[in-house]
Amino acid sequence: MRVVLAEDLFLLRDGLVRMLEAYDFEVLAAVETGPELTKAFAELRPDVAVVDVRLPPSHTDEGLQCALAARRDRPGLPVLVLSQHVEQLYARELLADGNGGIGYLLKDRVFDADQFIDAVRRVAGGGTAMDPQVIQQLLSRRTQDKPIGQLTPREREVMELMAQGRSNAAIAAQLVVTERAVSKHTSNIFGKLGLPVSDDDNRRVLAVIAYLDRGQQ
């Protein structure tokens, strides 16, 4: 799988290149500025990009803007955005086009190489990888929400993992239950939240996130 990486801190960039290569990714380019990233998007046409939100020269949200621009040119272009902090504001902007193939994670998540690589692969495959903190923030605003209050603790756990973009199999592995049990939980969740059941993993995720984010209660 061909990947472009944009990260301005040398240590992190170097570490990410080594990690990605260790998991058999082909790193086409590892750039450090916004303009270089835009060029790499246009010329190298990667399968997936891993992008830091804040990039030189402006040190603003240049990486995020580059990624959004590239996705406007190539809808669904898989991009995994990394940041020192996660903001619902940015998550909304990334998810707004509803095309999937999007990830938004704290940089801390690279500590767990297996999970991080899993997220990159998921995004590359058109799926979603939302940081658990984003989901937590969304949930914390909905303490008054009746349908969510009706979920059992286990269903809530499943919903959080699902909203992060995990597949049924991954959720089953994490919670140490069978996949059948997970799919039973998910259909309960969809029933309680009144969401249309869908076979498409990614649509399902986006529906849950959209539900959580809907008009702030």
Partner 1 sequence: MSGTKSVAKRVVVGSATTAGRGLVLGLTAIVGSITLFVLSVVSIALILIGIGVFTTPYVLTAVRMHANRRRLLAATWSDVKIPIPYRPMPADLRTGVTGQVERTTLMLKDPATWRDLGWLMVDMTAGATVALLSMGLFVYPLEGLVLAAGLWRVFEDDAYWYGFVPVDSQLTGLFAAAFGAGMFAVGLRYANDIQRGYFLLARAMLAPDHDQQLAQRVAHLTETRHDAVDTSAAELRRIERDLHDGAQARLVAMGMDLGTIEALIEKNPAKAKELIANARKSSAEALTELRDLVRGIHPPVLAERGLGDAVKALALRLPVETDVQVDLPGRADAPVESAAYFAVSEILTNAIKHSNADRVWIDMTYAESMLRITVGDNGGGGATIGGGTGLSGLERRLGTFDGILAVSSPAGGPTMVTVEIPCELS
Q: Do 162 and 186 contact (CB within 8 A), yes or no?
A: yes
Contact flag: residue 140 with partner 1 (CB under 8 A): yes
Contact flag: residue 85 with partner 1 (CB under 8 A): yes
Where in 23-82 is the site for partner 1 (CB under 8 A)?
A: 53-54, 59-61, 64
Q: Which two tokens stand for residue 171?
A: 């959720």
Q: Which has the closest alpha carbon to 131: 107, 97, 155, 153?
A: 107
Q: Which is nearer to partner 1, 160 or 201 (CB)?
A: 160
Pairing of strands 128-130, 102-106: parallel
Contact flag: residue 115 with partner 1 (CB under 8 A): no
- Closest distance of CB 213 from partner 1, Å: 9
Contact flag: residue 141 with partner 1 (CB under 8 A): yes
Alpha helices in the chain (DSSP H): 10-22, 34-44, 62-73, 88-95, 113-124, 132-140, 146-149, 153-164, 168-175, 179-193, 201-213
Contact flag: residue 114 with partner 1 (CB under 8 A): no
- Closest distance of CB 42 from partner 1, Å: 24
Contact flag: residue 150 with partner 1 (CB under 8 A): no
Contact flag: residue 88 with partner 1 (CB under 8 A): yes
Q: Which is nearer to partner 1, 58 or 187 (CB)?
A: 58
User: Could you give the C-alpha distances from 32 to 5, 13, 43, 71, 108, in angstroms and in order?
Assistant: 8, 8, 16, 19, 19
- The footprint of partner 1 (CB under 8 A) covers 53-54, 59-61, 64, 83-85, 87-89, 108, 111, 137, 140-141, 143, 216-217
